[in-house]
Amino acid sequence: MFNFFRKNINERKLAKAKIELSTVLQQNIDDSENSIKEFSTMIADFRKHKYHRHDAFLNLCVFSSIVEIDLTLLLERIQLSSRIQEKKLYARVIAVTIVDYIENINVLIGKDCIKELQLNHMDHFIDEFKALNKRFSMFRKANDFYLRDIRNNTLAHKCKDALTLKRAIDRVDPDEIFSQGMEVKAFGDEFVKISTKVLYFIIDYMTQGKKLNE
């Protein structure tokens, strides 16, 4: 009887934890979706007025918010799934998402955005972007081989040899992938802090009718 009550209590705690997790993640998704709408509106307005001084920065913001939503949804599913095969499937998709995101972010931050900040004489933001890009690079060096192995052999470039495919799937560790996904999300949170400061700077000089130094 005591085991019965203990089981019911544990099940209720798990159900409550799942609800709380879903609530937090939904707020995360809503925030990212709002960011996408706001930045997309700015891009459209600037382009309508043939103003392209902040194209790279705004593009980076929208791109990062889209990936943030994807990662949030996938991390939620891997955390709430009870079947190991399902966990591994979401883990494999997360691996693909991270590999492609890290590759793209290296160009979007390290090349496009920093170059644009220099051209706009907004050098006071550059060190923060460089520091964040370095964190992405360090993550890539530490995890690229494992993630790319999953990406290339279980999803993106499926091996036609069944035994090789099975061994590749067996090597997938959902807990490890979840941890790496959370780390990348933490980078995303850091990016939001930096980009918010840049956004306020842009809004401030435009609202006051100021011009960027040529």
Confidence (pLDDT) at 189: 87
Q: Is residue 105 part of a domain?
A: yes
In eight-state DSSP terms, residue 125 is: G
Whether 65 is in a domain gets the answer yes
Please report the pLDDT score of residue 1 as a whole number: 47
Residue pair 214/119 in contact by the 8 Å Cβ criterion: no
Q: Which of 56, 146, 163 is nearest to 104 (CA)?
A: 56
Per the structure, the complete domain to which residue 98 belongs is given by: 2-207
- Inside any domain, residue 71: yes
> Model-level pTM?
0.82
Mean pLDDT by runs of 10 across the 214 residues of the chain is 45 52 71 86 90 93 92 91 94 95 92 94 94 94 93 76 87 93 91 91 82 59
6 Cβ neighbours under 8 A, 6+ residues apart: none
Number of domains in the chain: 1
In a domain, 72, yes or no: yes
pLDDT of residue 212: 67
pLDDT confidence of residue 34: 85
Distance CA 189, CA 149 (A): 27
Question: Measuring CA to CA, which residue among 128, 101, 80 is closest to residue 183?
Answer: 101
pLDDT at 66: 92
pLDDT given for residue 9 in this prediction: 44
Q: Is the dihedral of CA 37, 140, 134, 190 positive or negative?
A: positive
DSSP structural state of residue 120: T
